[in-house]
Amino acid sequence: MIYRLLSILFLVLSLLVSQFLPAQGLVVHPYNPSNATNAVLLGLGGALTTTSILLDRRVSPLTEDDISVLEINKIPGIDLFSTRHISLDADESTDKLLLASFASPFFLLLDRPGRDNFDRMALIVFEGAMINAGLINLTKVLVRRPRPYTYNADAPLDTKLKKSSRYSFFSGHSATTAYFSITTAKLYNDLYPNSKATPYVWLGAALLPAAVSYGRMRAGRHFFTDVLVGSAVGTIIAIVVPTLHRNGEGN
């Protein structure tokens, strides 16, 4: 129920923001991507992705013996919540919220400034998404932290034996949702620096990854520290990449 309510709230906030867009008037071009900046960001994203793919081939699934020796008393207290919960509904709900975050940048196309800056914004979003995804996957294959449900006696053994059971740190759902929602807020802030809707945009951008993070813990898919780091990583990338493309910056 909480995920449905948050989805409705996100939609309401989006509609509210759209009511402010036509009144902005002045068309601005806050971004001026340089070839050098693009080369660095695209190269970094490509390197992270390629490395993660190569290392992933060396990762083997957990065995029953591996699972039997996992010690829950070694888990920090702030992470224990996730080991006591497993929910398919929560898992599916966070997948839907993740998809909603993918769509969030398209709200910027509702008015002329967004459409006039579409090519530059699309490049910014793509570059950041590449870096975000590459960093998520590389960290997972390097850390190989067992997911919370591997400590849960109620979780099916066949689920625990999947390769993905070793990819708890850090949360890709949290990082990706934070990246797309915060990027949308950052782009909106740069396009409409004097907009009255800005606080609502940032509110929606913060609520979406928060809801996803809670859902990932409730589903038993991630620890609190997984979603905390994931949200932080996605947020940092969402702020830094557009900033590097600002007029007069990173050029």
pLDDT mean by block of 10 residues, the chain; 251 residues? 52 50 60 92 98 97 96 96 96 94 91 90 97 98 98 96 97 98 96 90 94 97 98 98 77 42
Which domain, by its residues, includes 242? 85-251
Residue 20: what pLDDT?
52
Three-state DSSP at 31 gives strand
75, part of any domain: no
Query: Please, are residues 191 and 108 in contact by the beta-carbon 8 Å criterion?
Result: yes
- At residue 31, φ and ψ (nearest 5 deg) are -115, 145
The pLDDT, as a whole number, for residue 167 is: 98
Confidence (pLDDT) at 29: 84
Q: Given this model, what pLDDT does residue 24 score?
A: 47
pLDDT number for residue 11: 52
H-state helical runs in the chain: 2-20, 35-56, 64-68, 80-83, 88-103, 112-116, 118-143, 157-160, 172-191, 198-218, 224-244
The rounded distance, in Å, linking the Cα atoms of 183 and 204 is 12
Rounded CA gap, 188 and 199, in Å? 11
Encoded tokens for 218: 């409730």
Q: In a 3-state reduction of DSSP, which class is residue 246?
A: strand
d(CA 182, CA 203): 10
CA angle (214, 136, 148) in 5-degree steps: 45
Look at residue 228 and tell me if it is in a domain.
Answer: yes
Residue 177 domain-assigned?
A: yes
Residue 106 lies in a domain: yes
Q: Is residue 22 part of a domain?
A: no
Residue 115 lies inside a defined structural domain of this protein: yes
Q: At what angle do helices 88-103 and 172-191 cross, to 10 degrees?
A: 30
Distance CA 242, CA 251 (A): 13
Would you state the pLDDT for residue 7?
Answer: 54
Tokens in use for 160? 């625990």
Q: Give, rounded to a whole angstrom, the gap between the first and last alpha carbons of the chain.
A: 47
- Measured on CA atoms in the order 22, 24, 25, 30, is the torsion positive or negative? negative
pTM of the model: 0.89
| Helix, coil or strand: residue 154 | coil
Residue at 141 is within a domain? yes
The per-residue pLDDT for 33 is 83
What total of structural domains would you count in the chain? 1
Tell whether 170 is covered by a domain: yes
pLDDT of residue 149: 98
| Alpha-carbon radius of gyration of the chain | 20
> Which pLDDT does position 111 carry in this prediction?
85
